[in-house]
Structure formats: C-alpha cells, structure tokens
Amino acid sequence: MTSEVLAVNTAFYRAFEKKDIEAMSALWSQGTGSTCIHPGRSLLRGWKEVHSSWEQIFRNTAYIEINLDIMTTEVADNTAYVVLIENVLQVVNGKRLQAQSIATNVFQFLGGKWYLVHHHGSPIMR
C-alpha cells in the first residue's frame, strides 16, 4: 500500500512539473472535501477552487522542476499521508528562482484507488 501511495504522490509532482491539468485532475478527489494550501496562501476548499488554483499556477509558470526528499509516509486503513521537502526550481517572468517548501499530501482510498484530498505546502525560510 505504501508503494501505491508514493506512486500517486510522484505522479502529482510530475503532473505539476508538466503543467498537465488533466493528469492533475485524475489524481485529485473531485469532491467538496478536497483542500489545498499553496505556500503563503489561504485555504482553498472543494475541487472547483483547487482546480482553478492549479490552472492559474500552470498559466503563470514558464518552467518548474521539483525534486523530493520524502521524510515520512504513513498508511492506515483508507487514509495516508506523505510529508516531504519540495526542492523547487522555477522560471517566473524570466527569472530563475530556487526555493524549498515542506509539504504534507493526504490521500484517501476511494473506489479502489488512492486520490489526493489535501496538499499543504509551506515555504522553508533560510
């Protein structure tokens, strides 16, 4: 089960890097219970708000690369979470930016498949 959760977690970051809204949509629970907190932002509730936020990020990001350092993964019954460091390299408005965030991704096992139901990223200040 842990390997399945980690596979969905990896697919989430690959969809993010590719700015692929369809792949991103396939990984998220489409319900009203989905939530997301992007670094430095407020809580987004429900798939509609979460989806819109990813569309906006994809539109405004020329290039993004994310390398992961998994800190812990826990699976219990139909819920799992992954806590990790996101090492981010991106190009925004022609500028190359590097940053680190600590993130928690929460997954639920729904209809025989793991779906992302919550993503929370916080910047790591140096």
Whole-prediction pTM: 0.94
Residue 121 has pLDDT above 90, yes or no: yes
Residue 92 has pLDDT above 80, yes or no: no
Q: At a CB cut-off of 8 Å and minimum separation 6, what does 99 contact? A: 88, 90, 123, 124
Q: Write down all domains in the chain, each with its CATH number in brackets.
A: 2-123 (3.10.450.50)
Q: How far is CA 91 from CA 45, 62, 78, 88, in A?
A: 28, 6, 37, 10
Residue 103 has pLDDT above 80, yes or no: yes
Residue 40 has pLDDT above 90, yes or no: no
Enumerate the β-bridge partners of residue 63. 91
Residue 91 has pLDDT above 90, yes or no: no
